[in-house]
Amino acid sequence: FGVACHLGVLTDLPCVGVAKKLLQVDGLENNALHKEKIRLLQTRGDSFPLLGDSGTVLGMADISSREHIRKSLGLPGPRTLRSPKAQRPVACPKRDSGESSGGAPSPQRQADRTTPGGRRSTAQHQVGQR
C-alpha cells in the first residue's frame, strides 16, 4: 500500500500504484521457479505475471532487451477493479516523446523525478549531457 493508493483513499478516487519493488510481498520470491521464468524471457514483449501466494497478480516482469529484465508492479488501489486492466500502468510507454528508448514506464519515471533523490539524479544526468 503506497503513496498513490493512500492518495486514492484520501480523495476517494480510483488509483493504481506503480512500483519497481514492494516493501512487503505476498509470497513473491526470487526462487528457482522465478529465475527459470526470467531465463525463458527471450524477446522484447515477453512477460510473465508476478503472482503472490494468494494467487493475486502483483505485477509483471518483462524484457526490453536480453540484458535488461524489468519488473514493474501495478498495484490496484481503492475503487479499482482487481483485474488485468489494473495492470495498465505497467504497459505504459517506456519513454515520453522526445526521450531515448528503454527504461521504466512513464508513470514510474515521472514519480521518480518528483522525489528529492529523483530530482538530484535527473539534474546530474542533464548536466552530464551538456
What domain count does the chain have?
Answer: 1
- Give every residue of the chain whose pLDDT is below 50, as ranges: 85-86, 100-101, 122-130
Domain that holds residue 77: 3-129
On whether the pTM is more than 0.85, the answer is no
Question: In the prediction, which pLDDT does 106 show?
Answer: 67
Q: C-alpha angle with apex 128: 122 to 130, nearest 5 degrees?
A: 110
C-beta of residue 46 within 8 angstroms of C-beta of residue 63: yes
What CATH number is given to the structural domain containing 124? 3.30.2170.10
pLDDT digits (tens, 9 = 90+) for 82-112: 555 445 555 555 555 555 445 566 666 776 7
